Chain A
Amino acid sequence: MEKQVIQSVGFRNITENGKITGFQFRIRLPYYRGIFLSQIMPGTLYVDGETFTKDQISWCLNGEEYSNEQMSTDFKTHWNPLTCMVLKVRKEGGLKQGYHDLKYGFCFTSSYMPPILQDSLDPDKESFVFMPEFGHHVNERRLLIV
């Protein structure tokens, strides 16, 4: 596993029934403890400036796929920091060969932090004070599609 949140391994187009229907990439949890899916606050993905909203992205953990809506109430499925999450994005034809600039925001809640701090969390913006413990909300990486 790489230190960067967006991993270099796992970035490729998705082929279904011989057709390219989208692309996927992998992220690690930049937090010192695992979380339940309902704690995740997914944000916006930008690929070369093109916007993908949280409802266009599904999260896959240990082979199971979850929509943003499913995750928001699932407090039984746990994401361990040693396991990467695969994010799948629907896009007819996928991404073309060459470099792509990925920028993705997500964050998560913590029961042991005062609720007032939790209410102001925004996955697409950094926290007012950066705490390495919680990682950056927005992460970027430039990666190749073959």
Chain B
Amino acid sequence: MYVYERKGPKRGVALYSYSGEFGLTKNLEECFEDIRDMGAHGIEILANTHIENYPYPTDAWVENWFRLLDKYELIPVEYGHWIDSHVIRGRELTTEESIEMLCRDLRLAHRLGFTVMRTKMPVINHKLEPVENWREIIKGALPLAEQLGLVMCPEIHTPSNLKDDMVKDYVAFIEEMGTKNFGLNIDFSVFRNKFGENERRNPEFVPNEPEDITPLLPYIYCCHAKFIHMSDDFEETTIPYPEIVKILQREGWDGYLLSEYEGADKYDDGYEVGQTLRKQHIMLKNLIGD
């Protein structure tokens, strides 16, 4: 398997960004080559999207997966998946059923060489707070995660704030369990401090200051390098990237910044998200100095 030895913040791409093109104008290999062009080495996939015959891919598919990773010098960084406790209408899955679903993903993530999982919790309200039994679900999967060397990370995404009780609860849980197999993924949408005049803005959203990430860094295994607007001179105009990257470097944080483009225009006919991603990667490459 390809090895990328760089320490500190590293560049990667979340294949979610290709949502408007994947399966229509680009296949998995073409996405990989696009990322290789950018000189990024990390990838995040969405299990339910990018794995054929999920959750039970064939051995031939898995063999090809590793062949493509090697060919394009990519590291399987983060496995995006969902604990779908609300998968049936009318009842919530039992804790045991949710654990079973989670363990199935742990095994598959491990089979594909991943080390971090973006574990999306089922939410119960507009503040995106997780189901009440989330601790029991995670506890049930911790022994397997430990055995397979995986860390499950809920994502903290706008309109959540890094100082919310939800984040405090996750950190308290990690401390209480003394575990290295549960952590956080921070989506940089929480730092967004500029909005256009006509843009919809959640009234409950309060942007974080870049320094707010510092106390959380020991628990962060991956970040979503969210970007909203890249200018033609390669600056993100709504998220203070230079300050954020400086803090990550100062604190000696080692991990991947996975570009995730959420703009709705990626679904427009003829849109090429690869070009938008390249703009951000010019900025990230210059900030990181890789």
Contacts and interface: CB of A to CB of B under 8 A. Distances in A.
Interface of A: 1-3, 28, 32-36, 38-39, 41, 72-73, 75, 78, 80-82, 109, 111-116, 118, 131-133
Contact of A112 (B23, B53, B93, B122): B122
Contacts of B123: 111-115
Contacts of A112: 82, 120-123, 128
Contacts of A33: 46, 48-49, 82
Main secondary structure on chain A at its contact with chain B?
Answer: loop
Main secondary structure on chain B at its contact with chain A?
Answer: loop
B52 A82 contact: yes
Contacts of B112: none
Nearest first, the 5 A-B pairs at minimum CB distance are A32-B19, A34-B48, A111-B122, A132-B267, A111-B86
Which residue among A80, A118, A131 has the maximum number of chain B CB atoms within 10 Å of its CB?
A: A80
B124 interface: yes
A109 B90 CA distance: 12
B82 A38 contact: no
A23 B117 CA distance: 43
Nearest to A74: B88
Interface string B112-143: 00000000111111101000000000000000
A11 to B, nearest CB: 19
B82 A111 contact: yes
A32 B86 contact: no
Contacts of A41: 89
A111 B264 contact: no
Contacts of A78: 48, 54-55
Interface of B: 16, 19-20, 22-24, 46, 48-49, 51-55, 82-89, 93, 120-126, 128, 264, 267, 269
A36 B87 CA distance: 7
A82 B19 CA distance: 11
Contacts of A1: 23-24
Contact of A118 (B24, B86, B264, B267): B86
Nearest to A2: B24
Contact of B88 (A73, A113, A115, A133): A73
Nearest to A82: B23
Contacts of A3: 24, 269
Contacts of A72: 88-89
A78 to B, nearest CB: 6
A38 B87 contact: yes
A114 B126 contact: yes
Contacts of A132: 20, 264, 267
Contacts of A2: 24
Nearest to A129: B200
A39 B84 CA distance: 10
B264 A131 contact: yes
Contact of B48 (A38, A75, A80, A118): A80
Contacts of A38: 87-89
Contact of A32 (B46, B88, B120, B128): B46
A23 to B, nearest CB: 25
Contacts of B84: 36, 39, 75, 111
Contacts of B20: 132
A73 B90 CA distance: 10
B264 A81 contact: no
25 contacts: A3-B269, A32-B46, A33-B49, A38-B87, A39-B87, A78-B55, A80-B48, A80-B49, A80-B52, A81-B22, A81-B49, A109-B86, A111-B82, A111-B86, A111-B122, A112-B128, A113-B123, A114-B128, A115-B124, A116-B125, A116-B126, A118-B86, A131-B264, A132-B267, A133-B264
